[in-house]
Structure 1
Amino acid sequence: MKLPKELYNGVIIFIGIGLYFILMEILGLADLYYLRLFNVLFVFYGTNRTLKMNYEEGKTVFTSNATSALLTSLIGVFLSVIGLITYSYIQGGDAYLQSLSKTFLFGGSPSIMTYSISLLFEGIVSAVIISFMLMLYWNNRLVSDNQ
């Protein structure tokens, strides 16, 4: 059974982000908030890969490609948030989360679910922005190739 490319590339996003954050933790760089922003590169990679596959298959309809790109990035985001929740509970629950929130964007002491839901919303917004940025790139590339 062949997995849909959106699911396959969404899992690639999840694995990339997971390995990146585990590597940051091992190297002792998890407290550097600006390094956390590089996870967007994995979302770009997986989403771009889906769009590239679509165009190689001859699928050039803007709406179906936009849906495919958005689905890929959302799968990666949802799996990453689920992974964060699981990892946080394995590492000690709210006590582990408090070490993250000191160096991140939260004040006070958020629960794992509050933290994860806010990251989920942030991830959804990032997924939409990245998907449409890549759609503009691929749409312009396709148009200029035909002229």
Structure 2
Amino acid sequence: MKKNIHFISLDSILAEWLRDRLEQEPPQSAYAKGLLAGLRELLNDEASTLVLGVAGSRGNLSDTADDGIYAGELSIHPKSRKVLRQGREISLTPKEFDILYLLAQNRGEVFTKEQIYRAVWDGDFLLADSNIMAFIRKLRKKIEPNPDAPEYILTIWGIGYKFNDQL
């Protein structure tokens, strides 16, 4: 079974080495500049997490013109950090976007509240179930046509949350 997500810690030594290598010998890839920019943000403390994904569908390393994730009337664009429903932009906080993107990128995979915390917040954290529940509730109010009967972010009782893989 293929893993959908894997967390790897990156220290400053490795981040600096990767940055230097990309600056000295940039590969012929449309994504090299994005990775370099992300590494610079990490090293300048402008970002705390860098999320990497494979371009294309089904894990194929291929270029894609569109970076969007589409589900029903919802589209999520990670490069511009925009979310649209029926073509209208929805304003999300950075953490709301990160949670939504994590779930949507791993459609159908169930995440516990602790896994969501580890993916979205950096370093040590105080896990409070009500914290994640509050973020999910706010996110549903913004993206769901009917937040009381969610279509996108589904609750898996006793476990956590998943993004609907039937859309």
Tell me the TM-score normalised to structure 2 length.
0.26
Specify which structure has the higher proportion of helix. 1
Q: Which has the higher contact order (CA 8 A, sep 6+)?
A: 1
Tell me the TM-score normalised to structure 1 length.
0.28
